[in-house]
Structure 1
Amino acid sequence: MKKQEMSTQKTTADNFDAFIADMASLHMSSDVEFLVEGQRLPGHRQVLAKRSEYFRALLCGSMLESRQREVRLEVPLEPFKAILEYLYTGKLPLSSLDVDMLIDVRDLAHFYCLGYVETLITGYLQQKMSVSNVCAILNAAKRCDLEQSIEECQTFMDQNAYDVLKHDSFQMLTKQSIEEFLRRDFFNVPEVDIFRAVWKWSDKKSQGGHQDSGLARTSPPHEYR
């Protein structure tokens, strides 16, 4: 039974494509097309304007796009589909989206001033927070200046400092986050483990061309290897 449920579960992309097909079957003619990553997505100005202040200004205001049939958007395709589906249906299938996708959808919701969606995803990410994704969630929270989410991530990292330091995702933190992390309490994490993690982070940033890492660029002392 469980396998059957998993095999029949639709992704957001599948849901949106089915939704568009339903619109076509109802002969709902669109009056705008969004061009996103080379794909055309039909829309309806009045529907979107009613659901979002951003799209009201974009499609029905004095902006150039209000007079264009085709509107090109420099946004990621799948997260935009999820946002568009929400604007039409009021539904957002959180459980079918992975953490990276949820973060991308929340970033768009923040950009489009969809506070309810942003709050909904933030709460869901808090429930799903783990050692493997807390660094990604923290980076995203900082991009959107979500103070409560930032604090929750930092608290989780304090409580799971040893495992976070050991996990590969620690390498994705920004320099600012690393410095803030180092200023916090680590409970019983040995200093040698802290040093190794920060040195590995700095070494990876340097190899990637980030010359401003500014932390532990030299090789670790022999006793720390």
Structure 2
Amino acid sequence: MGSPCDWQVTNQKVAQRGKHILETGQWSDCKFIVGQEPHQQILEGHKLFLAMASPVFEAMFYGGMAEKNDPIPIRDVQPEAFKALLEYIYTDNIDLGSFELACELCYCAKKYMLPFLVEECTKFLWSDLSPKKACRAYEFAKLFEEPVLMEKCLQIICTKTNSVLSKPSFEEIEIGTLVTVFEQEELEINSEIELFSAAERWARSECVRKGLDPEDSKSLRSVIGNALTKIRFLTLSPQEFAEGPAGSSLLNQDEAFAILMNISSSERKWPMPEGFSTNVQSRVKPLKQHPTMGDLSAIGVVASTSGASVAGGLNNMLSDGQAPNSSSKLNSRSLLFPKNSSQDNSQWPAPQHVLESFTNLTNSSLANNSSNVMGSGAAVEGGAVREGLKYYCLRSIVQQTDCLNTSVLDCSVAFNVDRNICVIGVQVPTQVRIVQNQSIAPFDPFTSAVPGSYTELLYAHLLDSDGSRLTYTHYTSRVNVDSLVEITFNRPVYIQRNKVYRVGVVFNKVGWYPMGACTQRMACDSVFFSFGVGNSSDSVRDGLIRSIIFTY
């Protein structure tokens, strides 16, 4: 396609000129063959433009292993998504016309390391969630490690379960997602019959997809896996079970008889089929909403060991909708929802930037209360603290010992939890006394800490069981001596239950730190933490990790 003369003059902005050369192909020096047959398309590009935007394209065109193919094959991306990627690179414009395109484009953005485009895609997915799309969005978020979006999807699944189960799209989900839904403690259902019926429909659809007979019991059981064992049959009445699941092809006669005997008899002498749930507690119906700004005035900050409540100061702040010493009003929508969200109600604990906003509201209340509540590292004996939508698993100090850092002091602790959570950060103690002019004075444990403050400098990270880094942060701030500081990771990380993770902190300031020996097992709200698990070498000076900060 030819270009008009002096097109550069008529296109005032860089984005306009970028759009022109993208659409016309002028000066293009690379080609891509995108997608799979019969929907493949050849798209043109400019190496310099692409390399400026993406380190992956930079390596592809200018690295030591530069791509030699022409056109370059890209089989795992749909043409429409790649076109949208190019439009963003050349013009900064993002046109997310559908949920499906947002998913494809987000995958593409991750592949070529464009984090700002990933963020825009996840914002769109967040705002466009519905019961019809929640399961698919959950699978997408899990595949690409987007923990906040995962939890948002689960929240919709749990609070609108009836609607989610009734959608035809539910029959297309993966078996792992089916199991995850059935494992939830809180579901908006009237009876386990609804879960069983959904499982039956899903199994028949899966048989059709795999070319199996959807009426054959063996075929149905082969595809349903262990999802059936997550259904709490013992919460049903004998009549409900007899008129429903007992006649289904998903259960054989022996299983149906054994379950019915257990339902009918309170003595439970008849053994349940192997692997089937023996839980007799009905699912809890979740709250319809998390607190709005008005409701937050009822939330206090309570340390379980001291019983001290500082809700009063928080009530006053929140009832006015105003931060301390500030004339600006806080808008409840901006506090509880991410930017550009089109939702008017929230059913999900707010993301990290919202949690930080709420923390700012409570800081002055905390500072004015006794040292038993987060004020002094030595005074906190451990327990559960809830601050708004965040939880603090404070580890009890069994024995106080102090450690001298002469250069670099590293510490770490391996841990696991008994339910899925989202880790936000950690708390660590500050120095117990100031080191003057970087000279190390002998430490006297019977002498109280010197009052004052200093500039702390540290690095913190979170690793999985294989040692891969999941998130990290660098922290530099003025801190008080003999206190706890809160370190927030660069992003929250979704933690799966019963898996081992390791949190580590590296201190870079010379001085004395109250390392201590902490308890290895702690309960916080309904989450049970085990510290020092796995290989003992995973935990080093773990007493310096005083608290795990999380939400769920």
TMscore range, shorter length: 0.7 to 0.9
Task: Measure the CA separation in 1 of the matches of 2:74 and 2:123.
Answer: 28
User: Which residue matches 1:196?
Assistant: 197
Distance 1:39 1:207, change over 3 A: closer
Secondary structure of the equivalent of 1:204? helix
Question: In the TM superposition, what is the alpha-carbon distance from 1:82 to its structure 2 partner?
Answer: 0.5
Question: In the TM superposition, what is the alpha-carbon distance from 1:24 to its structure 2 partner?
Answer: 7.3
Secondary structure of the equivalent of 2:224? coil
User: Which residue matches 2:224?
Assistant: 213
User: Which residue matches 2:52?
Assistant: 50
Contact 2:22–2:45 (Cα < 8 Å) also in 1: no
User: Which residue matches 1:11?
Assistant: none
Contact 1:206–1:213 (Cα < 8 Å) also in 2: no
Task: Measure the CA separation in 2 of the matches of 1:119 and 1:24.
Answer: 24
Asked whether 1:80 is paired with 2:82, we answer yes
Figure out how many residues of one structure are paired with residues of the other and give that number. Answer: 202
Contact 2:19–2:90 (Cα < 8 Å) also in 1: no
Deviation per residue, 1:101-146 (Å, 9 max, x gap): 1111111112112111111111111111111211221111111121
Task: Measure the CA separation in 2 of the matches of 1:78 and 1:69.
Answer: 20
User: Which residue matches 2:180?
Assistant: 180
Deviation per residue, 1:48-106 (Å, 9 max, x gap): 101111111111112241x4442121121110110111111111012xx1111111111
Secondary structure of the equivalent of 2:207? helix
Residue 208 of structure 2 aligns with an amino acid whose one-letter code is Q
Task: Measure the CA separation in 1 of the matches of 2:128 and 2:42.
Answer: 33
Distance 1:25 1:44, change over 3 A: closer
Distance 1:26 1:143, change over 3 A: closer
Distance 1:194 1:213, change over 3 A: closer
User: Which residue matches 2:409?
Assistant: none
Residue 224 of structure 1 aligns with an amino acid whose one-letter code is G
Secondary structure of the equivalent of 1:213? helix
Task: Measure the CA separation in 1 of the matches of 2:175 and 2:17.
Answer: 42
Question: In the TM superposition, what is the alpha-carbon distance from 1:207 to its structure 2 partner?
Answer: 2.7
Secondary structure of the equivalent of 1:107? helix
User: Which residue matches 1:111?
Assistant: 111
Task: Measure the CA separation in 2 of the matches of 1:116 and 1:173.
Answer: 29
Task: Measure the CA separation in 2 of the matches of 1:197 and 1:25.
Answer: 48
Distance 1:26 1:39, change over 3 A: closer
Question: In the TM superposition, what is the alpha-carbon distance from 1:224 to its structure 2 partner?
Answer: 1.9
Contact 1:85–1:92 (Cα < 8 Å) also in 2: yes
Contact 1:82–1:92 (Cα < 8 Å) also in 2: yes
Secondary structure of the equivalent of 2:130? coil
- The aligned runs of 1:39-188 (5 Å cut-off) are 39-65=41-67, 67-74=68-75, 75-94=77-96, 97-184=97-184, 185-188=186-189
Distance 1:27 1:129, change over 3 A: closer
Distance 1:187 1:41, change over 3 A: closer
Secondary structure of the equivalent of 1:113? coil
User: Which residue matches 2:27?
Assistant: 29
Larger radius of gyration: 2
Question: In the TM superposition, what is the alpha-carbon distance from 1:182 to its structure 2 partner?
Answer: 0.9
Secondary structure of the equivalent of 1:129? coil
Distance 1:170 1:46, change over 3 A: same
Question: In the TM superposition, what is the alpha-carbon distance from 1:19 to its structure 2 partner?
Answer: 8.8
Distance 1:29 1:107, change over 3 A: same
| Gaps in structure 2 of 5+ consecutive residues | 1-15, 213-221, 230-240, 246-552
| Gaps in structure 1 of 5+ consecutive residues | 1-17
Question: In the TM superposition, what is the alpha-carbon distance from 1:26 to its structure 2 partner?
Answer: 7.5
Structure having the larger proportion of residues in helix: 1
Please, what TM-score do these two structures have when normalized by structure 1?
Answer: 0.80
Task: Measure the CA separation in 1 of the matches of 2:111 and 2:193.
Answer: 41
Secondary structure of the equivalent of 2:155? helix
Task: Measure the CA separation in 1 of the matches of 2:163 and 2:128.
Answer: 16
Please, what TM-score do these two structures have when normalized by structure 2?
Answer: 0.34
Question: In the TM superposition, what is the alpha-carbon distance from 1:198 to its structure 2 partner?
Answer: 1.1
Q: Provide the alpha-carbon RMSD of the alignment.
A: 2.6
Residue 213 of structure 1 aligns with an amino acid whose one-letter code is I
Contact 1:135–1:170 (Cα < 8 Å) also in 2: yes
Contact 1:199–1:216 (Cα < 8 Å) also in 2: no
Task: Measure the CA separation in 1 of the matches of 2:69 and 2:195.
Answer: 55
Question: In the TM superposition, what is the alpha-carbon distance from 1:39 to its structure 2 partner?
Answer: 2.2
Distance 1:194 1:50, change over 3 A: same
Secondary structure of the equivalent of 2:31? strand
Secondary structure of the equivalent of 1:41? strand
